[in-house]
Amino acid sequence: MWEYTDKVREHFLNPRNVGEVDNPDGVAEVGSIACGDALKLSFKLDENNRIKEAKFKTFGCASAIASSSALTEMIKGMTLEEAKKVTNQDIAAFLGGLPQEKMHCSVMGKEALEKAIENYQGAPAKEPGAQIVCECFGVTDREIERAVRENNLTSVEEVTNYTKAGGGCGNCHDAIQQIIDRVRAEAKPAVRPKLTTLQKIKMIEEALEREIRPSLKQDGGDIELIDVVGNRVLVAVRGACASCKASDITLKQFVEVKLRDLVSPDLIIEEVAP
């Protein structure tokens, strides 16, 4: 059984805005019955060019129906510029999260929204030059690139969870991996600029505050930044961590991994006596 949040369940059992808008301004249909899910989205604007009405019809599982329902609720009252900024993560977040394997339902919502807006604005429906990569589910390289970029995906399996690409015969796995490698290679320099020591300390402190200390505190532990010397991050452990035999592992596998991810891949964490 899938682990759905109460919000997903609630939107599945009581979906909002089912149907089709009369005389819609924008309409789009994505997915197909062969793929196992499909969504038809239509919307109407008010006199201020805000979305007055949005409706959906969905063929698919509970999370596809819930994602569609969530999407229509979210975009009501938005201008098209605002609606364009809605991402698949926003849809998933609105529902309190989706299982990894179901993230493609939120991506389907995002795609339908984008296409419906294009339909209204008269923009080309298909991105120019896009090539089908996954024949089974008709997913293009552009779609995969975007999912990798926006969701920071690193593996073929993740790409399948988000876009369905690669979920059929598996012939395109190499091609998907190449796209992942390409996008990640592009992304690196932008995400990881050379840091001054001061910037580094600030970012480490922020990462500790936001991402690391709250988790440690849940287990009664804590951590304090003592100094940063080059790439060596000197810390002292506090609370339950100080007497915990596994604190080395926590430092290496959690704190260091997090800091490398959030600040700089060269960081080395070291424990010092307080």
148 or 204: CB nearest another protein: 148
**61 a catalytic residue:** no
Let me know if 136 is a catalytic residue. no
- Regarding 190 and contact with another protein (CB under 8 A), the answer is no
Residue with Cβ nearer another protein (101 or 256):
101
Structure tokens given for 3: 């682990």
What is the three-class DSSP state of 58? strand
Question: What are the start-end ranges of the H helices in the chain?
Answer: 6-13, 62-75, 80-84, 88-94, 103-121, 141-151, 156-163, 173-191, 197-207, 213-218, 247-249, 257-262
Measured distance CA(274)–CA(261) in Å, rounded: 26
Closer to another protein by Cβ: residue 12 or 43: 12
Assess 55 for contact with another protein (CB under 8 A).
no
Shortest Å, Cβ 64 to another protein: 8
Binding residues for another protein, total number by CB under 8 A: 31
Using the rule CB under 8 A, is 13 a contact of another protein? yes
Which residues, other chains included, contact 104 with Cβ-Cβ below 8 Å and sequence gap of 6+?
37, 161, 162, 163, 164
Q: At its nearest, how many Å lie between another protein and the CB of residue 149?
A: 22
| DSSP code at position 17 | S
Enumerate binding residues for another protein (CB under 8 A): 2, 9, 12-13, 15, 18, 29, 33-40, 57-65, 101, 136-137, 160, 164, 167-168
What are the residue numbers of the active site?
A: 35, 105
